[in-house]
Structure formats: C-alpha cells, structure tokens
Amino acid sequence: MPKRHIEPITPTVEAEPTLSRLRWVMISLGFAATLINYLDRQTLSIAAPILKVKFGMSEEVYGLIVSAFMLAYTVSNGLAGPMLDRLGTKIGYALCMFWWSTAGILHMLITGPVSLGVFRFLLGMGEAGNWPAAVKVVTEWFPPEERALASGIFNSGSAVGAIIAPPLVVWLILEWGWKSAFCAVGLAGYFWLVAWWLIYRTPRNIQRAVAARPAPPWRLLRTRFGGWFTFSRIFIDPAWYFYVFWFTKYLSTVRGFTMVEIGKTAWIPFLAAGVGNLAGGALMPVLLRMMPMPAARKAGFALFTAMMAAAIPAVFAPSATVAIALISLASFGYAGSLANSMAFPADVFPPNMVASIYGLASMGSGFGGMIFSWLSGIIIGRFGYTPVFISYGIMPLISIVIVLVFVGPLRPDPHFQTNLSLPLREVTQES
C-alpha cells in the first residue's frame, strides 16, 4: 500500500529559467536604492558646516542630531525586517523608499536643531529597511551560489554613494543652495519608486513560499543561528562605523592632512570597499570548486574578515600613504565579508523570513555601533587613536570565531522549513 509523507517545496531560481536574465535587472534596482540611501544620509554631513552657522548649532547639539538618526536606524532595523516579510518585497521596499525620500525632502523645512533632529529621526526610520529589503531581492531572484555576488553588487551602492556624494552635494549647494541638495536627492528616490513599481515582481515559483506567514521575530532570534549571527555582527560592524565617522578626523589630527589633502584621499577606503563587495561574491565560485556550500560560505567570510586586522599595523605605519593603504585593505575586507554574510540568512531560513532575521542582526550591530562609537570618542580623547585601531583590528577576529564555532551549520533549518506555513506538496512513495 502506498505510504504518504509531507515534503517541503524547496523554491529555487532555476525552477523558472525564463526569468533568470531578469535577476540582474532586479539587483540593479537594489544597487540604485542603496546608492540613493547613502546620498540621503551623507547630504547632512556635507551641508553641516553651513547649517551649524545658520542655526547656531554647537558640536554637542550636532552630535545629538546624528545620534537621533542612529537610534531610529537601529531600532527600525528590527521593525523593518518583519514588515517586509509580512507585506512582501515589492510593497515593503516601496514603502521604505517613499518614507526616507519624503523625510529627506522635509529637510527643506528645517527651522532649527529640533526640526532637524526630527527629520533625521524620520530618515533613519525609513533607511533602515534598505538592507533587509535588498537581501530579500537576492533571496528571491538568485540561486545560493550567486547570492554573495548579488549581495556585493547591491551593497556596492553604499561605496559609490559615499564617493559621489561630496562633489554632487557641494555642486548642488553652490549652485542652488542647501535646500536644493536635500530636495534633489529625495526626488531621486521618487524616480526610483516609479521604476521599481513598474519592473519588480516575485518569481512565480516562490510566490506561495514568500506569501506564507513568517515566524514571529522573537522566535527567530531564539534559534542558534539567529542569536549567534546577531552577536557576531556586534564585533564587526562597529569597525566600519569607525572608518565612516572617524577616518577623516584621524587624517587631520594625527597625519596632519589639510582639507585639500583629505579631499584627495578620504575616498580611497570607500573605493576599496566597493571593490571588496564584488570580490567577496566573485570568490564564491572558486571556493565552491573546493568545498561544499556551507563551508565555502564560512571560508569566504573568514578570509575577508581576517583582512580587517590590517587596522592594527595601520596605526603604527610610518607614513600616511601606508596607513591609508592598510585602512583600505581593512575596508576591502569588511565589504567582502559582508557580501558573504548577507547570504547567510537565506541558507538557513525560507524566503518569507530572511528580512526578519537580517533586520534583527542589523539591530544588534546598530546598538553595538552606538556603544562602541561612544567608547571610541572617550578612548581617543584620553589615549589617542592607537588603542582604538588595535581594538577594531581584533574585534573582527572574535566575529570569525563566533561564525565558525557557534553559529552552526549553514543549512536549512528543518523546523522552519516544514512547520511554519511553507507551501507543502504530498508525494506518494511506494513501500
């Protein structure tokens, strides 16, 4: 008599080969959104000298405004992921872009520090959804062996945005004033929205899986992968925040760079990060020829993360040129590491939960970044940059240990694959 059992559908991109060429169009939309995201957040840092004078803001007040953005961004990571999993990629990503683009345009109405802080808080709330949303795009459109490369492609938008923001925003301010800069970047998000709504759709073969009700976020965080993956981000992401917020100040105070020299060199580590994003994904096919997918994913992560230890010799380098080269190596390693780690959630959880788990991990790294950024300021003020660079060279190595030892195997969790509303099909098997 035939015996029946339940077998989960495993959604794969290959099941719909006619759509495979569209995956590069879809990830290009993620790249463009990430680029706009960084333009939006950096417009203030470039316009800050003008706004400080116009509204009489002290350094302390400006710091509080930056903290308002970081607080909203951090908390919203944990909210945006579940929202995206519930509403779906198309609607969820569109809402995030609309929210942060509108918040960016509202900066034209700034009347003082309070209104600026409110608008930065709103901007942080919306921008937090970009990475969980883009990770969902990667999960829906790319097979496992291409996900690291796809993640690197969309995330390289952050490096490109960091490179082009200064000349673009300065030009807008000089030509039409500071309000035009906030308005133009916000409008770019609206143009993206039109293209996104007309182009994006979920591949047919995973529509039921994506539409299934996801598990509660707290349940995902209690899993071995969810808890340890979140914990690992606390030791790696703060290093990137340090380079973003402190690198130019380091060049000025320690290496004696003028503003002109900073303008000529400060973009180099961000360019290295952009290359690292692509390199992190390009390495995956090479590793897959030598080992299975779970081991290859962790090996790629460990290799690139180890490069971040270059921060230690950077602070002792006799010349500024060598120091910048080593810091660039560290940022290259961070980006390559991130390209691999952004593919982790889809290796373990089904498509309707990847935004939730990545959002939770980002929330953990955000709180870690806030704490370590605060500590960095205290340590630099009392002891200089040396202990900080050493710390940010060692901390990523701790993250490697956590991923290799504690995160667990990067393979589908059978409980979440079979028991949490994924579509099932019955298969008849002869006894």
Predicted confidence (pLDDT) per residue in 329-373, tens digit = 999 999 999 989 988 888 888 888 888 888 888 888 888 877 887
Tell me if 1 sits within 8 A of 121, measured CB to CB: no
Could you tell me if 164 and 371 are in contact, meaning their C-beta atoms sit under 8 angstroms apart? no
Answer for the pair 242, 388: CB distance below 8 angstroms, yes or no: yes
Task: Provide the residue type at 371 as one letter.
Answer: I
CATH number for the domain running over 3-429: 1.20.1250.20
Q: In this predicted structure, what is the pLDDT of residue 16?
A: 42
The DSSP 8-state label assigned to residue 404 in this structure reads I
CA distances from 369 to 250, 318, 363 (A): 18, 29, 10
Q: Phi and psi (nearest 5°) for 2?
A: -65, 140
What phi and psi, each to the nearest 5 degrees, are found at residue 426?
A: -90, 135
pLDDT at 259: 65
Phi, psi (rounded to 5 degrees) for 427? -120, 125
Q: Where are the domains of the chain?
A: 3-429
The one-letter amino acid code at 170 reads V
Residue pair 155/335 in contact (Cβ under 8 Å)? The answer is yes
pTM listed for this prediction: 0.80
Closest C-alpha to 93, from 236, 14, 210:
210
Give CA angle at 262 (121, 234), nearest 5°.
Answer: 45
Among residues 400, 130, 375, 153, the alpha carbon closest in space to that of 242 is found at 375
Provide the residue-wise pLDDT of the chain in tens; the chain has 431 residues.
Answer: 444 333 343 444 444 434 468 899 999 999 999 999 988 888 887 787 788 888 887 767 777 787 788 889 888 888 888 898 888 899 999 999 999 999 999 999 999 889 999 999 999 999 989 999 999 999 889 888 888 889 889 988 988 888 888 788 888 888 898 899 899 999 999 999 999 999 998 887 777 777 677 777 778 888 888 889 999 999 998 898 888 777 877 888 888 887 678 777 888 898 999 899 889 888 988 998 898 988 999 999 999 999 999 999 999 999 999 999 999 999 999 999 998 998 888 888 888 888 888 888 888 888 887 788 778 878 888 888 999 999 999 999 999 999 999 998 888 877 765 433 333 232 222 22
- d(CA 200, CA 205) in angstroms, rounded, equals 15
Helix and strand counts by DSSP (H, E) for the chain: 20, 2
